[in-house]
Structure 1
């Protein structure tokens, strides 16, 4: 299950960002998961909940935004968002398409908390 190594990398990145900004903790992490990224969102959530203990993100909520497959067709020029996980153009049936989105796994935002400076 490669979601464990993905979460370990994610938490390492979050800790680096928090250190750079001198944050004391993290309350929310938003990640975009493409349907073709090879990452199972459910397993990613389980791995996050398992590994966040004893980190700066121990009380953080993980928000997963699922990114659908978007194709650009070289034959008819259409850009289509698809539910099906294939590269067939839904307008003209061509296989001559390019994937525009749906393959990525992106850290979109980290909501950090800071110590009060009294």
Structure 2
């Protein structure tokens, strides 16, 4: 009985360690925040359609990098650093696009031009 309890305790401990190694809560939170910033920029007109497309591609690339890092069950500090670096760069891109003075055309303006 003691061996069985010890065995399950070891399994539980190992599982917790593995889950911790693949956990990326700060990366996930940053992704949610960046996507919200992009949506807000689209709604306000600060981000054009072309800019939005490029910024969303950056977010997809970051997601792919994160999934690749998790694939082997262990997100190393080096992999986390690489992902966070890409997130910082993407965040700067979002800021630059929102403040570059280009404006998204409103739906009404697009309809007037197409008539």
TM > 0.5 between the two? no
Q: Which structure has the highest strand share of the two?
A: 1
Q: Which structure shows the higher helix fraction?
A: 2
Structure possessing the higher radius of gyration over alpha carbons:
2
Q: TM-score w.r.t. structure 1 length?
A: 0.29
